[in-house]
Structure 1
């Protein structure tokens, strides 16, 4: 892990196309601005983990699950 000290309005550069700017610091809270290409997903870690968990649950659904949904157009 790389550990850096930065001040307000200083920027971290990641690769050629991602910038992270320190917008404000208040107590133990830091506000960051992230400039990245639209195709790169950016989430807080807890949200990212929640998305991964939900995707894992959805991938493990039984094939019969869709058949039991009301108004299912997949039923013959």
Structure 2
């Protein structure tokens, strides 16, 4: 697993076509903006864990 520190406005690129950007919310919570092709499935961790059981 790769662990990175990113500040709001910074991003990482996965492969050629997936961009994950850190977005700051009004409440100070961490939020991620994910830009990926429509054929790439994106699932929240808690949902994925429920599906794996």
TM-score with structure 1 setting the length: 0.59
What are the ranges of 5 or more consecutive residues in structure 1 without an aligned counterpart?
Answer: 54-76
Give 4+ residue runs of structure 1 displaced > 3 Å after superposition: none
Q: Which runs of 5+ in 2 are unaligned?
A: none
Larger radius of gyration: 1
Report how many aligned residue pairs link the two structures: 51
More strand by share: 2
Aligned to 1:33: 33
Deviation for aligned residue 1:48 = 1.7
Match of 2:18 in 1: 18
